[in-house]
Structure 1
Amino acid sequence: MFHDITHILTALIKGAFPLDQVHFVTPAENNRTSPCLSVILETRCEAFFSASGNVPLHSSNSLRISFGKQQLTLQLYRGNALIQQQQIARRGPRTGAFLLQTLNELQMQPTEQDTARLVILSLLSHCRDLLGSDIHTDSRSRALFEAVRRFIDENHASALTRDSVAGAFYISPNYLSHLFQKTGNVGFNEYLTQTRLEHARQLLKGYDLKIKDIAARCGFTDSNYFCRLFRKHTERSPSEYRRQYHSQLIAKK
């Protein structure tokens, strides 16, 4: 699999090669070239990004992607030896350019590792899409949308708002709403609520926690509001949902 760039991209995106640390290489004053991303392919992968392309080669196996204005260059190295190279035109949606801009902004906040990893994975997904033969216009913002979805899923217990999520990806709140409506066919607040309620259902099934604790773990500051919302979406209170689930488990034994 190491000889195939597409397979490596897929493995990185799916987590078969877990992405650990994201490093930002300081741009060299005398070396202003295209942005470059290098991923070190080890048990725990590390990514190195530079807006100016001055990412040094590493002795380990690595995937190196240069983002030119007209085309991408993907290179697979075993140590310092180049074993595969592919070039592809930067056609279709401008999602890649937007994700690169987000990484440029994140260079000023290198401790924001969770967001950086999500953006890197979305950028790798975008590269894989470009390598494929089918690029559909209706997937124009898919990579960014998936990055935001993963961010919400991983941070659902936090005090997320439309403004805070938009700020994490350096986009406007209005564009975030547009992204969800156009790409996900769902409103931002509706998606956030669905995600939190799904996590609440899993906690009700698997843990004997108090309802107010479950509400807090799923991002709801008001347990009464959580109960009303839960009933609205399931036609049962959280306690009724838990009892019914465990009754069904007992009946199956």
Structure 2
Amino acid sequence: MKNTSLPADQQFFADLFSGLVLNPQRLGRVWFATQPSRLPEGSLCTALPRLDVVLRGEYGNQLEKTQHRLAEGEMLFIPARAANLPISDKPVMLLSMVFAPGWLGLSFYDNRTASLLRPVRHIELSYLQRGEGEAMLTALTHLSRSAHQQDVIQPLTLSLLHLCRSVVNTRPDAQRPRSEFLFQSMCNWVQDNYAQPLTRDSVACFFNITPNHLSKLFTQHGSMSFVEYVRWVRMAKARMILQKYHLSIAEVAERCGYQDSDYFCRLFRRQFGLTPGEYSARFQRG
């Protein structure tokens, strides 16, 4: 039964996903795009993983000889930073998914009525990519090195389609605004990756937004700037490490994303009024 409370475009994609997950026998092999050493003109390459499903007709990826003719039901998974160059010289209907940390992008192509690279329908839905969705995408990326394991890959891809269907069938009024999802997903990502080198530009690139947009999101939804938030997360982690483990200050600094231990000590004292050594001494047993 259709969810009549969905907007027309969202209902369109909900119907497409229902047709796929309720008829899994129509789904075929999953192919994998790679990272070519040179990107020919027209190649599609982003920092986000994608999945293309051939609904009707033939489709292809010009960058791989074995992928020049993908038939109805076959799929092409493009890991983050991999690339594909579409071949659409024959009639084809295609469903394409882009998996961003804070949203799910869906596009429907039909080259009988428009250029394949210009979607006939397109929507973006707020979706916090954590938990099972993140695990599925990570697993598919790793399995790209073992593409012959279709008995594992195909059920995993079907599960990913089920998850997409669930997202698409969520009413807009049950979703948080995309800007709030983006802000929260960036905060969560920083908490998981605080030990890495983090800059406004690098995180904005990862989330496929501009640095200015990132700063605006922290102004709208947060109580501190992006730089302040990263420092706050790292200092909180440093305090926890100093309480629980007997490590050198240099090791603690490195684990919290700081290569310069002196700089780390200055930041820690500024925030807590104690040096890391003084703070750690409070938890040492005599």
Q: TM-score normalised to the size of structure 2?
A: 0.45
- How far apart in 1 are the matches of 2:125 and 2:284? 45
Aligned to 2:189: 151
* Larger gyration radius, structure 1 or structure 2: 2
Report SS of the residue matched to 1:186. coil
Aligned to 2:203: 165
- In structure 2, relative to structure 1, the CA distance for the partners of 1:173 and 1:201 (3 Å cut) is same
- How far apart in 1 are the matches of 2:244 and 2:169? 37
Q: Which amino acid aligns with 1:226?
A: F
Write out aligned runs for 1:77-116 (5 A). Answer: 96=126
Cα shift at 1:176: 0.6
Aligned to 1:223: 261
1:181 aligns with 2:219: yes
Question: Is the contact made by 1:129 and 1:135 (CA closer than 8 Å) also made in structure 2?
Answer: no
Return the match for 1:206 from 244, 250, 254: 244
- In structure 2, relative to structure 1, the CA distance for the partners of 1:206 and 1:227 (3 Å cut) is same
Gaps of 5+ in 1: 1-21, 39-48, 55-67, 71-89, 100-105, 114-119
Cα shift at 1:198: 1.1
How large is the RMSD of aligned CA atoms in angstroms? 4.1
Question: Is the contact made by 1:215 and 1:226 (CA closer than 8 Å) also made in structure 2?
Answer: yes
- How far apart in 1 are the matches of 2:109 and 2:233? 38
- In structure 2, relative to structure 1, the CA distance for the partners of 1:50 and 1:133 (3 Å cut) is closer
Report SS of the residue matched to 1:245. coil
- In structure 2, relative to structure 1, the CA distance for the partners of 1:224 and 1:151 (3 Å cut) is same
Question: Is the contact made by 2:126 and 2:175 (CA closer than 8 Å) also made in structure 1?
Answer: no
Cα shift at 1:183: 1.6
Gaps of 5+ in 2: 1-48, 52-75, 77-83, 100-104, 111-119, 130-136, 145-159
Report SS of the residue matched to 2:282. helix
Report SS of the residue matched to 1:219. coil
Aligned to 1:232: 270
- In structure 2, relative to structure 1, the CA distance for the partners of 1:170 and 1:140 (3 Å cut) is closer
Question: Is the contact made by 2:125 and 2:168 (CA closer than 8 Å) also made in structure 1?
Answer: no
Q: Which amino acid aligns with 2:247?
A: L
Q: Which amino acid aligns with 1:237?
A: T
Q: Which amino acid aligns with 2:263?
A: Y
Cα shift at 1:132: 7.6
Cα shift at 1:244: 1.6
Question: Is the contact made by 1:36 and 1:52 (CA closer than 8 Å) also made in structure 2?
Answer: no
The percentage of aligned residue pairs carrying the same residue is 32
Aligned to 1:191: 229
Question: Is the contact made by 1:95 and 1:143 (CA closer than 8 Å) also made in structure 2?
Answer: no
Question: Is the contact made by 1:95 and 1:144 (CA closer than 8 Å) also made in structure 2?
Answer: no
What is the CA deviation profile of residues 32-58 of structure 1, one whole-angstrom value per residue up to 9, with x for unaligned ones? 4554589xxxxxxxxxx975489xxxx
- How far apart in 1 are the matches of 2:232 and 2:256? 11
- In structure 2, relative to structure 1, the CA distance for the partners of 1:217 and 1:35 (3 Å cut) is same
How many residue pairs get aligned? The number is: 160
Q: Which amino acid aligns with 1:189?
A: V
What is the CA deviation profile of residues 214-253 of structure 1, one whole-angstrom value per residue up to 9, with x for unaligned ones? 1011111211111111011111111111122346xx8xxx
- In structure 2, relative to structure 1, the CA distance for the partners of 1:37 and 1:173 (3 Å cut) is closer
Question: Is the contact made by 2:204 and 2:211 (CA closer than 8 Å) also made in structure 1?
Answer: yes
Q: Which amino acid aligns with 1:193?
A: R
Report SS of the residue matched to 1:203. helix
What is the CA deviation profile of residues 13-71 of structure 1, one whole-angstrom value per residue up to 9, with x for unaligned ones? xxxxxxxxx77338784444554589xxxxxxxxxx975489xxxxxxxxxxxxx959x
Write out aligned runs for 1:53-132 (5 A). Answer: 96=126, 127=167, 130-131=170-171
